[in-house]
Structure 1
Amino acid sequence: MDDYKPYAVFAEVVHARSMSAAARRLGMTPSAVSQIVRAMEQRAGVALLHRSTRRIALTEAGERCYPHCLRLLEAGRAATASLEQARDAPVGELRIAAPLGFGAHVAPALAPVLAQWPQLRMSLIVDDALIDLVDARIDIALRVGELPDSTWIARKLGQMGTVLCAAPTYLAHHGSPDSPIELRRHHWLALMQEVREMTADAAVPDGGEPVPNFMLETVDGHGNREPIPLQARVTTSNQVALRQMCEQGIGIARLFYADVRHTLEQGHLVRVLPQLRLPSYPLAMLTARRDVEPAKVRVATTALKAYFSSLAMEHEPAFA
């Protein structure tokens, strides 16, 4: 590719009407500016400027060349201004990837940011599958649980506590379990990725109980995890659908406390065995880089961090 710098220097010289003035604007010495213009003329084989001790004037070739060089100079300035705007002001499209159900958290976290910066737009891509963040042009990704190896920068936002829930109608029909061992006789709802693949013949052996295909992890007083083998009757790949089926009284489910706090307060769901401690899962925010983040990413990450910090402090599940 040709070196476009001489054309920009030439345009600045014509615009400033002197080598010295152009040199000051460009942060160069007058001799360096003069050498660049002379080299440009020698390469083109035509004179671009008439020089005198007091002023410069365009030749005919220079007059024809100058408008093109001016557009190049203006394009460079516009490019610089756009980069400075991206660095200093939250503008353009902010693309966020999050698991299904996280719209309830992203919206309140970033609503103040969108209100403050009217030139900022947001696209929220919700999917429990791990989408390709580069192909989807993602600026920020929210992830729950252990993270796969990646070149993206991960920042911890907090822990997502989980609780066992059931609808009042389910408990009225099936009774409330009084101990962890009683959980095995209940209907369970689970995410497909948590359920072990089984053949139809192995699911219900002759004369026996259904073979467990789902492990409910609990946490003892020393922080050790203890699994309880259960049989998931209904499975789904969608966290939102899991909560909705639980609200409809189909069975018991393990849900994120932050997602069901208001539902519990309204009485649409009831905590099952509230004294039973369940593990929490790390919530992280992924960004491509930390050192050269545009303003839109900086303000969004700050808002998300503040929101989830307050969520962890105010919405931590209590144990009986």
Structure 2
Amino acid sequence: MDDLRRMAVFAAVVQHGSMSAAARALRMSTSAVSQQLRLLEQGSGVTLLHRSTRKLSLTDTGARFAEHCQAMVSAASQAKAQLALAHDAPSGELRMSAPVGFARHIGPALAPLLADHPALTLRLLVDDTMINLVDARIDLALRAGRLPDSTWVARRLCDFDWVLCASPDYLRRHGEPTTPSELARHQWLVGSRDGSALQIELAGPEGAKETLRVEARIASNNQLSLEQMCAAGLGVGMLTHPDVHALLSTGALQRVLPAWRLAPIPVWAVTPQRDNQPAKVRHAIEALRAHFEATPGTRR
């Protein structure tokens, strides 16, 4: 490393034409510059400069060596510029992962970012299993709910509201519940891998609270499938409001017990590291945050 530093000093002397000028550009003393050149010559056993009281002149070997030293300095400057560019402008491949239910938000959220930065590409891995970010080389993951302990860094983007809903056809056939206790007799679509029962905690008017346990007729670990089956009239589902907002707006789904509320679910941006995030990750997180802020059924 010392030789590289001395080569950079030598290139500066050649560029500026004198040791004193190079010293000013490098913010060194003239004697320090002279010492670095002397050590470079002693280490190589070759004379690079002819020194006189009036000027410096390159030896033939020094002239050839100077070309390579200047190329080295130029390459280092370009490398530093690339680091600055990576810090300021999104570029390269952004590797993301998300559960199937959240994947629908990534296109609308990142479309403006991708349109504004042609050098940025996206590799999206959609999987409901918990992908290891390091093993899969993931830059950014969307996660929801309670996160397991890990060394990864989680930033809260927003909360999704849960809603109880069913199709109008289902409610015509089975009746519309008017109290939480009536929910237990309905057919339920439950987000679960093993088909286990669902415990629901509801907050109602004037501080009322109800906790009930419902059995699953249909269980799935995929929220999108539950939404589709709910719209098909197969039962009551506890679904995230942003994902069913359009179905509620068109009347394909109807809210059940709208005066009662469920605790929201947090949505996280998860990254393998906290510091020195590349621009592609920082901009993607802000794009996701902005998208969710404008999405009905979310809260900060």
Q: Tell me the TM-score normalized by structure 1.
A: 0.80
Q: Which runs of 5+ in 2 are unaligned?
A: none
Match of 2:198 in 1: 214
1:294 equivalent to 2:286? Answer no
1:309 equivalent to 2:297? Answer no
Contact residue 194 and residue 219 of structure 2 kept, 8 A: no
Match of 1:45 in 2: 45
Contact residue 180 and residue 210 of structure 2 kept, 8 A: no
Instruction: Please give the residue correspondences for 1:1-320 in structure 2 after superposition, counting only pairs within 5 Å.
Output: 3-193=3-193, 195-196=195-196, 213-220=197-204, 226-288=210-272, 292-311=276-295, 314-315=296-297
Measure how far apart 1:195 and its partner are. 4.1
Tell me, in whole angstroms, the C-alpha distance in 2 between the residues paired with 1:65 and 1:302.
48
Match of 1:201 in 2: none
Q: Give the partner amino acid of 1:87.
A: H
Match of 1:208 in 2: none
| SS of residue paired to 1:131 | coil
Measure how far apart 1:225 and its partner are. 6.4
Measure how far apart 1:2 and its partner are. 6.8
- CA change 1:156–1:55 in 2 (3 A) is same
Tell me, in whole angstroms, the C-alpha distance in 1 between the residues paired with 2:120 and 2:25.
33
Tell me, in whole angstroms, the C-alpha distance in 1 between the residues paired with 2:68 and 2:170.
76
Match of 1:202 in 2: none
| SS of residue paired to 1:42 | helix
Q: Give the partner amino acid of 2:76.
A: G
Measure how far apart 1:183 and its partner are. 2.4
Measure how far apart 1:255 and its partner are. 0.5
| SS of residue paired to 2:100 | coil
Q: Give the partner amino acid of 1:249.
A: G
Tell me, in whole angstroms, the C-alpha distance in 1 between the residues paired with 2:85 and 2:258.
51
| SS of residue paired to 2:148 | coil
Tell me, in whole angstroms, the C-alpha distance in 1 between the residues paired with 2:205 and 2:84.
53
C-alpha RMSD of the superposition? 2.8
Measure how far apart 1:274 and its partner are. 2.1
- CA change 1:29–1:221 in 2 (3 A) is farther
- CA change 1:106–1:171 in 2 (3 A) is same
Contact residue 194 and residue 214 of structure 1 kept, 8 A: no
Contact residue 98 and residue 142 of structure 1 kept, 8 A: yes
Tell me, in whole angstroms, the C-alpha distance in 2 between the residues paired with 1:259 and 1:110.
17
Match of 1:210 in 2: none
Q: Which runs of 5+ in 1 are unaligned?
A: 197-212
Measure how far apart 1:135 and its partner are. 3.2
- CA change 1:223–1:35 in 2 (3 A) is farther
The percent identity for this pair of structures is 49
When the two structures are aligned, how many residues end up with a matched partner?
299
